[in-house]
Amino acid sequence: MADVQINARSYESFTQNPAAASERSSGRSHETQKRNSPVTRFAIGFLIVVLCSLAAWPFLPRRYEATVTLILRATDESGPSSHGQALKQLLDEGAVQSELDVMASLPLSADVMDRLGLANDPEFSKSSVTLFNKANVTALEPVREIQNHLVVSRDRKSYTVRLGYWSNDPAKSVRMADALATAYLDRQVRHKLDNSEQLIERLRSQLVELATREAELRRVADNNATSSFKIAELSDERSATAAEFAGIRQKLVEATQHHNEIGPDAERVADAVLPMNPTFPNPLLMSIATLVLAALVGFAFAWPVLRLRVADRLANLAATEGTK
């Protein structure tokens, strides 16, 4: 009986306010249409991607890059005496590529690791874990990880080379770049010093041999003082030995002088500067990528409704053409 009364009241209110019920029904229909609008669905998909990108931005790893600028130059074993002399001598492409290979070599990165004590740095001492062995860090793995952070570039076909490293710490990238440039220049000087020392040692050995030979010739001459022919022959040989001795001694003096003037085959023209902005992620590129992805996702959200509306519009046009 109560149910009949409630239904009766509902019927009476409906019959008494048909306009209000119609307005409520049309309002709900309008809200549903707005929610299913392609523009609304596009905006929802677009905003989802933009908000996710903004939320992920602070957590993206940063990559700071620092480089030292060097100018390669052709020199002799002792290094050029002036900058103009270096400019007059040319390096071929093979020589420049060889120097680039030296800069990118593992021994040079190992030298940087030893200079800065990066063997236990968390950024580079990453353990390798497999199914068959536990975490294991070998002595070579930090060097290879440092090698993966290496940056070596050449300006077109010039002799200007930039070398350094990238890191998640800007100050560390500067220290590593400076250490790499210093290690490279020291390696060149050390190589020249080794060659110069070998040359000096070889010349000294020749002087000792000639001095021994001169002493032997003098002893033979003293033992044959009565033989004029033998003395003349020994005199010519001693003169030749003395001339050779004087020439080698002059070479030794020059080699010793050059040894003290040895310099590298490159000139350091710009030191590493503390990077203020990371090279990755790039704000401009990330913004463009976010907008493009947001537009694609928004279009994917709006496409089902847009496809139905386009189909309905085409069907209505076909029906209208049919009635005409």
Token duo for residue 80: 């050029």
Domain ranges of the chain: 2-59+281-308, 64-270
CB 161 within 8 A of CB 177: no
Q: Measure the CA angle with vertex 291, ends 289 and 294; round to 5°.
A: 105
Say which range, 1-15, 49-63, 83-97, 229-243, has the weakest mean pLDDT.
1-15
What pLDDT, on a 0 to 100 scale, did the predictor assign at position 14?
43
* Rg over CA atoms, the chain: 42
Rounded distance, CA 187 to CA 291, Å? 49
- Which residues are 162's β-sheet partners? 69, 153
Rounded distance, CA 16 to CA 173, Å? 81
Q: Is 270 helix (H, G, I), strand (E, B) or coil?
A: strand
Please list the alpha-helical segments (H only) found in the chain.
Answer: 2-16, 18-35, 38-56, 83-88, 93-103, 106-116, 140-148, 170-223, 228-260, 283-323
Strand (E) or helix (H) holding 70: strand 64-72
What contacts 179, CB < 8 A, 6 or more positions away? Answer: 111, 112, 115, 116
The pTM score is 0.68
Given a cut of 80, whether residue 189 has pLDDT beyond it is yes
Token duo for residue 268: 């350091």
78-132 pLDDT per residue, tens: 454 444 444 445 677 888 889 999 999 999 999 999 999 999 999 998 655 444 4
